[in-house]
């Protein structure tokens, strides 16, 4: 009942305006304000700033720079074996498993189709009986997104949508949540075939950014048909290379084709993962 009430409350909020406003607040450079905001956030969410490249709030020009902070070099090494798919983010496993008849499991009683998530029926055919992993980024997590394997960017799209929260409570109460929210979808060609990587926006998420297109949001668009673009120049990203970042937190979803991966059997809903941690073994 509490989950449903929370979801209903969100549906009544002007989420796009609220998120755009918070993005502007996060850019304020006034030292007393931005330092106070960062210290409040550090206390409320128990952020370990010792892992960051800069460990003092004075080093950050504004809250957004703090939120998208870099880690100390070498802190999240990639696996030694070349056939390992690594975690693209710090976060927690929301769900992991097979894609059954094109359907992806969200939470008990809820799912969504790969076609709806990718906003493209033809692209979704590659993942019809494949597998997926959904990773939730909490406020205290590191919020840059990295490549889980070597991949060449084939195409990408901005998909407008809602801005519900993506926390576990909302996932349990909003049908098709990740296919309804604003998102960026990127398709990479890899050694095991196509990989879809989806960065899902959410309420208070002020922006999504990629290394090939820069800032995608804000503005948070509505009635714009999703269009897949090919990179103007070939873009090959190594495993562990940064591909984008969230300006505030959200969720990353990975889709793989059938027979491509064997997911680590120890992975389970709610389990914390770290950037570079082994998620699966590539079979091709």
Q: Which residues pair with 95 in a beta bridge?
A: 134
* pLDDT of amino acid 4: 64
Of the candidates 239, 142, 138, 143, the one whose C-alpha atom is nearest the C-alpha of residue 188 is 239
pLDDT in tens, the chain (284 residues): 555 665 565 566 666 677 777 788 888 999 999 999 999 999 999 998 999 999 999 999 999 999 999 999 999 999 999 999 999 999 999 999 999 999 999 987 789 999 999 999 999 999 999 999 999 999 899 999 999 999 999 999 999 988 887 777 777 878 888 999 999 999 999 999 999 999 998 877 558 999 999 988 777 777 788 999 999 899 999 999 999 999 876 899 999 999 999 999 999 999 999 999 999 999 97
- 6 SS3 class: helix
* pLDDT of amino acid 249: 66
d(CA 199, CA 188): 14
Question: Is residue 247 annotated as a catalytic residue, yes or no?
Answer: no
* pLDDT of amino acid 124: 98
Given 90, 120, 126, 141, which residue is catalytic?
A: 90
* pLDDT of amino acid 5: 62
Question: Is residue 94 annotated as a catalytic residue, yes or no?
Answer: no
Given 133, 173, 250, 264, which residue is catalytic?
A: 250
> What's the N-to-C CA distance of the chain in angstroms?
45
d(CA 15, CA 82): 42
* pLDDT of amino acid 231: 93
Given 62, 143, 146, 220, which residue is catalytic?
A: 146
* pLDDT of amino acid 205: 59
* pLDDT of amino acid 51: 95
Of the candidates 276, 251, 18, the one whose C-alpha atom is nearest the C-alpha of residue 117 is 251
Residue 202 CB contacts under 8 Å (≥ 6 apart), including other chains: 163, 164, 165, 166, 181, 248, 249, 250, 251
Question: Is residue 146 annotated as a catalytic residue, yes or no?
Answer: yes
CB 112 within 8 A of CB 132: no
């Amino acid at each position: 009942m509490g989950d449903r009430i929370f979801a209903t409350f969100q549906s009544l909020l002007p989420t796009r305006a609220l998120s755009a406003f918070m993005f502007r607040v996060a850019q304020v450079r006034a030292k007393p304000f931005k330092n106070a905001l960062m210290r409040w956030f550090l206390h409320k969410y128990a952020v370990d700033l010792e892992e960051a490249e800069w460990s003092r709030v004075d080093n950050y020009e504004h809250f957004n720079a703090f939120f998208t902070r870099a880690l100390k070099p070498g802190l999240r090494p990639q696996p030694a074996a070349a056939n390992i798919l690594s975690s693209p983010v710090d976060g927690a496993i929301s769900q992991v498993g097979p894609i059954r008849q094109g359907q992806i499991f969200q939470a008990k009683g809820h799912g969504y189709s790969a076609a709806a998530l990718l906003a493209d029926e033809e692209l979704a055919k590659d993942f019809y009986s494949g597998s997926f992993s959904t990773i939730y980024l909490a406020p205290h997590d590191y919020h840059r997104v990295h490549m889980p394997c070597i991949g060449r960017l084939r195409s990408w799209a901005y998909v407008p949508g809602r801005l519900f929260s993506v926390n576990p409570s909302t996932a349990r109460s909003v049908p098709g949540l990740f296919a309804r929210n604003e998102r960026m979808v990127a398709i990479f060609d890899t050694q095991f075939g196509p990989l879809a990587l989806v960065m899902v926006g959410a309420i208070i998420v002020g922006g999504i950014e990629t290394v090939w297109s820069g800032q995608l949001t804000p503005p948070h668009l509505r009635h714009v048909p999703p269009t897949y673009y090919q990179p103007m120049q070939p873009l090959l990203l190594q495993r562990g290379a940064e591909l984008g970042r969230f300006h505030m937190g959200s969720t990353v979803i990975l889709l793989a084709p059938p027979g491509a991966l064997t997911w680590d059997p120890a992975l389970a809903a709610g389990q914390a993962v770290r950037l570079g941690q082994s998620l699966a073994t590539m079979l091709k």
